[in-house]
Structure 1
Amino acid sequence: MLLDLLGVVYDGDTPIAGAAAAIERLRGAGLPLRFVSNTTRSPCSAIIAQLAAMGIEVAEEELLTPARAAVEWLRKHGRQPHLLVHPDLEVEFSGLESGSGRAVVVGDAGEAFDHASLNRAFRELIAGADFVALAINRTFKDTDGQLSLDTGAFVAALEFASGRSPVVLGKPSPDFFLAALAGLNCPAADGVMVGDDAESDVAGALRAGLGAALLVRTGKYRPNDEARFDPPPTTLVDDLSAAVDWILKARRAETDIGDAL
């Protein structure tokens, strides 16, 4: 079971009604969980602390973020990062200064996205650095309740200017979903994703081979999102509580079929 965080479990610092209880229902049913977030402004420790303050206990190994995937990628390929990320996220990349090559790593830098920072990243790319995108989401729901530009727009600008295509490490990369499932020892066909982003969360999960992907009407969801991307969600539900209802009902049906056989 894979759950997105922002827009599914919480909005900003506010838990979404019923989300904590829904997670406990999944745990009580014995379903293993991974929280798969494309958030690239906060280190994992801050995300876990934020969840704990909401009464949701999440172990470090239960959380997968693009920054964690990027650190593994940089180590595997022996690259030093040139970071274009939010200042709060930079701590995740400490200890990677000894690589033999360079890689531009782009996340949601927020106010740090300006001409100077983008131009420095561009010059690294045309000098031969690898190009790593933590995510390519179009938008996110900001603290004022409105949609704001996400990382994808700035990745696209660098791609256009440099003529270089990035390695995408977060959702909708199939490897990201499959890495989360591998930690659960769960075949892709048995995996279920719950998210509020019809493109990155839902279509991305289904393209990765997951058996089901549920789209919630909370977070960044906007009317008719379920029809905008292919493949469409397995089902559209009001919130995480309704998603858990659907998941547990489907599990009971599978158990009944197994017993009948």
Structure 2
Amino acid sequence: MPTPRPVIRAILIDLSGTLHIGNTPTPRAIEALQRLRKAAVPFRFCSNTSKESTAALRRRLTSMGFEVKSDSNKEEMWTSIGAVHRRLEDMGLKRPYFLLSDSAREECLSMAENNAKIPYDSVVIGLAPSLFTYEHLNTAFRVLVNEHETRRSSSSKTVIPLIATHKAKYIESADGVLSLGPGPFVTALENASGLQAEIVGKPSRRFFQMVIDNLQSEELEHGMNGGVGEIAVIGDDVEADLGEGAIELGLWRILVKTGKYRPGDESRPGLKPPDEMCESFAVFVDSFLAAPVD
């Protein structure tokens, strides 16, 4: 018998595959989000999209008809690229070797030194199909093992951080067909270098906790105290959206059957099944708003 849904006072919402596919909203998603706003339900957008900057993603969502608020007091959009920027800043890294799209790299450039004489001090990898060539991956490998030309002259061999936006094995393309995600390329660099990548996006606990802390600091007046089951996360990938950190933090995990979802994903071996399944984001909102509130 399924576990009854707990009282949910805040929602972390995946974007690609959940609210939209390519540039097309999922059925009734725009209306469903408007209804959440009208009901004063606190939420945050949590995206692993790493082919574009946070600002570019915000503009694209707006062009589709979604409202995305952004001001100094309430940031609704949280992305893996934004998490990379914060992590580079926290670690004091000044010259990463980027395997990122131009748009995503632009968001991180304020942290970087554009000086060829400065050795690379890290490797950052996201979804950048045009850069997943032998030449670029081999350069990343050489940086990681201190064999790149900018590092060979150094007498001390430094441990070089490998930072990944996320490690999804596959994504859904705009045409509805699955395509390789950055995960296999991250794994290849890990295997070759002997290093472990630090995942800064979903489903890392660090990422979810960062978003939850923001929710709690801004919206305590709504009665949300961050207790187990009071925060839900909804997405189309049982592993990349609903795994690891979502489980560790005790979030209520909802899998939607849009986007990259394929029949049987909810019972894949080695993965914890979701707490709830819904046909779409809008169907979840219908059910959620119809439920009695304590």
Structure 1 stretches of 4+ with a deviation exceeding 4 A read 98-101
Deviates more, 1:188-197 or 1:165-174: 188-197
What is the rounded CA distance, in whole Å, between the counterparts of 1:73 and 1:31 in structure 2?
29
Verify: 1:180 aligned to 2:211, yes or no: yes
2:164 to 112, 133, 136: 133
Q: Of 127, 133, 137, which aligns to 1:118?
A: 137
What is the one-letter code of the residue matched to 2:246?
Answer: L
Of residues 32, 36, 50 in structure 2, which corresponds to 1:26?
A: 36
Identical columns (%): 35
- Within 5 Å, give how 1:1-261 maps onto structure 2: 1-60=11-70, 61-80=75-94, 81-98=96-113, 102-127=121-146, 128-185=159-216, 186=224, 187=226, 189=228, 190-204=230-244, 206-228=246-268, 229-250=270-291, 252=292, 254-255=293-294
The one-letter code of the counterpart of 1:95 is: S
Residue 247 of structure 1 and its aligned partner are, at CA, apart by 2.6
**Matches of 2:277 and 2:186, distance apart in 1:** 29
User: Partner amino acid for 1:37?
Assistant: S
Secondary structure in 1 aligned to 2:127?
coil
- The one-letter code sitting in structure 1 at the alignment partner of 2:189 is L
Change (3 A) 1:188 1:75: farther
Give the CA deviation at 1:13: 0.8
Q: Check conservation: 2:97, 2:120, Cα contact below 8 A.
A: no
Kindly state the Cα deviation for residue 105 of structure 1 after the two structures are TM-superposed: 0.4
| Residue-by-residue CA offset, 1:121-173 (whole Å, 9 max, x unaligned) | 00110013211011000100012221000010000000000000011101110
CA distance in 2, matches of 1:8, 1:211: 17
**Is this contact kept in 1: 2:99–2:123, CA < 8 A?**
yes
Aligned length: 253
Q: Deviations over 1:172-200 (max 9, x none)?
A: 10111111111110515211001000111
SS in structure 2 opposite 1:56?
coil
What does residue 259 of structure 1 align with?
A: none
Partner of 1:258: none
1:69–1:170 CA contact under 8 A, matched in 2: yes
Inter-partner Cα distance in structure 2 for 1:216 and 1:222: 10
Deviations 1:52-108 (A, max 9, x none): 112111023111111111111111111122101122211111222359971100100
Q: Distance in 1 between matches of 2:97 and 2:251?
A: 37
Equivalent residues of 1:84, 1:104 under 8 A apart: yes
Map Cα deviations across residues 111-130 of structure 1 (whole Å, 9 max, x no partner): 22100000010011001321
- Cα distance in 1 for residues equivalent to 2:93 and 2:120: 5
* CA RMSD, Structure 1 to Structure 2 (Å): 1.7
Choose between structure 1 and 2: higher helix proportion: 1
TM-score (normalised: structure 1): 0.92
Q: CA deviation at 1:207?
A: 1.5
Partner secondary structure for residue 201 of structure 1:
coil
Please, which runs of 5 or more residues in structure 1 have no aligned partner? 256-261
Shift of 1:204: 3.4
SS of corresponding position for 2:215: coil
- 8 Å Cα contact 1:205-1:213 kept in structure 2: no
Amino acid across the alignment from 1:114: T
Contact 2:205–2:245 (8 Å) recurs in 1: yes
Contact 1:19 1:241 in 2 (8 A): yes
The CA distance in 1 between the partners of 2:244 and 2:144, in whole Å, is: 27
SS in 2 for 1:17: coil
205-214 or 187-196, which deviates more? 205-214
The answer for unaligned runs of 5 or more in structure 2 is 1-10, 147-158, 217-223
